């Protein structure tokens, strides 16, 4: 039986949530004569009910901004946070003209619109995103009333540090340390719910990091696999000519140029810079870059890449950590676009691995995406690169909805400033676990941030004549973002084709993933001095970024602006892509109702959720982007 616990009494008598929850757990007693093991499913449901009731009770004086039914999969409670420990938080203030900004970005990104290509300056963008004066004053006053003296306001963000005790009181919650069960080391300071007073709630989009855990593979590289080659095998690849037989086995720079008909060569002007983002202490290596040049692009020898450090990021050339992702990014952007300059953003921040008893260092931000995006959007117009490749992602449902929407808004802002943001779609086909966290039902797993409509999501192919969808290439339909207008004509024929197939397992109204695709299997990479073969949509994204960089460079020679937010232009020019009609993305093999082989998104005529519109025809793209510029 269950001994009742008065959850409302817990709230109104100011009993901390975790202590009241412990009372609730202790009220679960085993019936006599039964096994000593507790029915964990029943316990989970009861605890979930408690949290919901507690949230309702809190709503009497404050608005619940976000709440989780339970600790997310892959994490476990490690210990309560000590009152004197420090937590750093960011408050996103509501933008005055958010809807007008979205329309402005769509206007300047839609071919044929009178404003097409008229990108916003940083100051013009801020005229849309700046919060009202009353919003800033209300939130600042609220913080001051709770003895927060270090708050810094920067446009639509307020940043502050305080003690755990004070933050818990401020947000009507309890912070605790949670452990990543995969590595049993990584700890994050988080909470399962938070609220803000009714008088400031209308001015706030979110407060993070609070409920944003991430999966154990959070922001992981989307490299699917990596193999080292011995010297003899590597030398054979070096000597092989690009062509169908050799490029079916491994991918080199010559293979990509041959397959996608890339002949155009840009200048090394700084305006042609292509950037990529590195997280999780991955650093591209200069020695490996130079070895890659000498082996595969000897005409490019002497060029190097530059690094900008963000949020305490490093450029550690002697790190023992994995560098495969960063090396793959820099080497294959370079392979496609040399001699265009390349910039690596090395962003620190995923939380302390072993915090001290009273003071974790650095204090608790744990959010490299936010730190990196805020840094980018603060750059002056002459400092922001116009193409950025990102090969990190995670399961969309592991992200709080308000966080996903806010981050997507920030990618939209980049698009408004003329930046094309390219994301790898992921390496799990329709999904891996395929369990919906809200009710444990079978459900496909779209990826984040690839599900944001304002990034260009890239799937993967292999083979050359014809190219085929590769089994790991992720795709599907966003849970959070509705399908945009520019995607409907391409996507809806696919949905009509599959009918009710998999109907219970995805939302057909969602933003469709991916947009396009490129080769993603067995890329030759130099990593820590070894010749290696890497596979994943992590390989596909930098290839597309390099191609977009070439198109921008050609446009600049005609006095045209960068392409900026790409997707309306891509879907308006689907004939510039080779339709991939064979292969499938496969996943969800652990779900019995889907059968032994799991589920698959098949490549088919037109757009599909494994290769998107298809792979690039560079000559045609160049003709469309920069009419009259020769592909030579």
CA atoms within 13 A on the CB side of 529: 2
84 is written with which tokens? Answer: 């004197």
Is 538 assigned a catalytic role?
A: yes
288 annotated ligand binder: no
Q: Which residues contact 585 (CB under 8 A, 6 or more apart)?
A: 429, 430, 459, 469, 470, 471, 472, 473, 474, 475, 600, 601, 609, 610
Helix/strand/coil for 474: coil
- Measured in residues, the chain has a length of 632
Other beta carbons within 10 angstroms of residue 593's beta carbon come to 11
Count Cα neighbours of 543 within 13 Å in the Cβ-side half-sphere.
33
261 is in an annotated binding site: no
Buried b (16+ CB within 10 A) or exposed e, 255-271: bbebbbebebebeeeee
> From the CB of residue 318, how many other CB atoms can be counted at a distance below 10 Å?
6
Beta-carbon contacts of 268 under 8 Å, excluding residues fewer than 6 positions away, are 303, 339, 340, 341
Question: Annotated catalytic residue: which of 325, 367, 394, 427?
Answer: 325
Q: Which of 109, 337, 425, 538 is catalytic?
A: 538
Q: Is 117 annotated as a binding residue?
A: no
DSSP secondary structure, 356-378, as one string: -SS--SS-S---HHHHHHHHHHT
Q: How many Å apart are CA 228 and CA 222, to the nearest integer?
A: 18
The token pair at 589 is 């093999």
Torsion angle (degrees, nearest 10) of CA 597, 601, 602, 607: 180
Write the secondary structure of 30-78 as one string of H (helix), E (strand) and C (coil). Answer: CCCCCCCCCCHHHHHHHHHHHHHHHHHHHCCCEEEEEECCCCCCCEEEE
Catalytic residue check, 329: yes
- 608 annotated as ligand-binding: yes
Query: With the C-alpha atoms ordered 173, 176, 182, 185, is the resulting torsion angle positive or negative?
Result: positive
Q: Which member of 205, 281, 329, 367 is catalytic? A: 329
The token pair at 586 is: 């496969």
Is residue 32 annotated as part of the catalytic site, yes or no?
Answer: no
Residue 57 CB coordination number (10 Å): 16
Alpha-helical (H) ranges within 212-358 are 231-239, 244-247, 253-260, 286-296, 324-337
Active centre residues (catalytic): 325, 329, 538
Provide the annotated binding site for Ca(2+): 579-580, 606, 608
Provide the annotated binding site: 579-580, 606, 608
């Amino acid at each position: 039986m269950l001994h009742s616990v008065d959850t409302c009494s817990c709230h109104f008598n100011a009993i901390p949530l975790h202590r009241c929850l412990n009372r609730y757990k202790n009220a679960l007693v085993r019936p006599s004569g039964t096994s000593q093991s507790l029915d964990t499913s029943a316990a989970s449901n009861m605890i979930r009910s408690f949290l919901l009731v507690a949230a309702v009770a809190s709503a009497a004086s404050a608005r619940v901004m976000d709440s989780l039914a339970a600790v997310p999969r892959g994490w476990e409670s490690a210990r309560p946070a000590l009152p004197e420990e420090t937590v750093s938080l960011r408050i996103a203030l509501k933008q005055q003209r958010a809807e007008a900004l979205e329309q402005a970005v769509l206007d300047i990104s839609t071919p044929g619109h009178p404003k097409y290509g008229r990108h916003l300056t940083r100051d013009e963008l801020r005229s849309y995103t700046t919060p009202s004066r009353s919003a800033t004053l209300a939130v600042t006053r609220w913080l001051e009333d709770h003895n927060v003296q270090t708050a810094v306001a920067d446009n639509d963000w307020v940043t502050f540090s305080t003690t755990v005790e004070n933050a818990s009181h401020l947000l009507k919650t309890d912070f605790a340390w949670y452990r990543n069960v995969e590595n049993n080391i990584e700890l994050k300071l988080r909470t399962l719910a938070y609220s803000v007073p009714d008088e400031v709630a209308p001015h706030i989009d979110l407060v993070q990091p609070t409920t944003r855990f991430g999966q154990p593979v959070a922001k992981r590289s989307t490299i699917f696999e990596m193999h080292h080659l011995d010297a003899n095998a590597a030398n054979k690849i070096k000597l092989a000519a690009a062509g169908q037989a050799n490029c079916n086995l491994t991918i080199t720079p010559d293979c990509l140029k041959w397959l996608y008909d890339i002949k155009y060569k840009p200048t090394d002007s700084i305006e042609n810079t292509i950037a990529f983002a590195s997280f999780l202490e991955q650093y591209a290596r200069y020695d490996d870059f130079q070895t890659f040049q000498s082996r595969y692009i000897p005409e490019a020898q002497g060029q190097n890449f530059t690094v900008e450090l963000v949020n305490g990021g490093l450029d550690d050339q002697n790190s023992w950590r994995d560098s495969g992702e960063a090396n793959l990014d820099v080497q294959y952007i370079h392979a496609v676009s040399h001699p265009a300059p390349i910039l690596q953003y090395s962003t620190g921040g995923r939380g302390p691995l072993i915090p001290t008893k009273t003071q974790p260092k650095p204090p608790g931000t744990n959010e490299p995406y936010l730190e990196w995006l805020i840094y980018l959007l603060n750059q002056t117009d002459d400092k922001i690169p116009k193409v950025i490749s990102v090969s990190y992602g995670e399961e969309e449902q592991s992200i709080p909805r308000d966080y996903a929407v806010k981050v997507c808004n920030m990618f939209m802002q980049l698009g408004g400033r003329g930046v094309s943001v390219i994301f790898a779609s992921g390496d799990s086909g329709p999904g891996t676990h395929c369990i919906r966290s809200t009710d444990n039902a079978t459900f496909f797993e779209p990826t984040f941030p690839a599900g944001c409509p304002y990034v260009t999501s890239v799937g993967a192919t292999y083979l050359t004549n014809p190219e085929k969808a590769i089994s790991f290439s992720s795709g599907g339909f966003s849970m959070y973002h509705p399908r945009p207008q520019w995607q409907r004509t391409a996507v809806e024929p696919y949905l009509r084709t599959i009918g009710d197939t998999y109907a219970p397992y995805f939302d057909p109204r969602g933003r469709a993933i991916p947009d396009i695709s490129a080769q993603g299997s067995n890329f030759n990479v130099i990593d820590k001095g070894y010749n290696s073969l890497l596979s994943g949509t992590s390989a596909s994204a930098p290839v597309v970024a390099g191609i977009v960089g070439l198109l921008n460079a050609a446009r600049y020679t005609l006095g045209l602006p960068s392409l900026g937010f790409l997707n309306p232009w891509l879907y308006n020019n689907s004939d510039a892509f080779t339709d991939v009609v064979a292969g499938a993305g496969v996943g969800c093999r652990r779900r019995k109702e889907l059968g032994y082989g799991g589920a698959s998104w098949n490549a088919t005529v037109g757009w599909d959720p494994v290769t998107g519109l298809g792979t690039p025809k560079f000559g045609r793209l160049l003709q469309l982007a920069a009419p009259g510029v020769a592909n030579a």
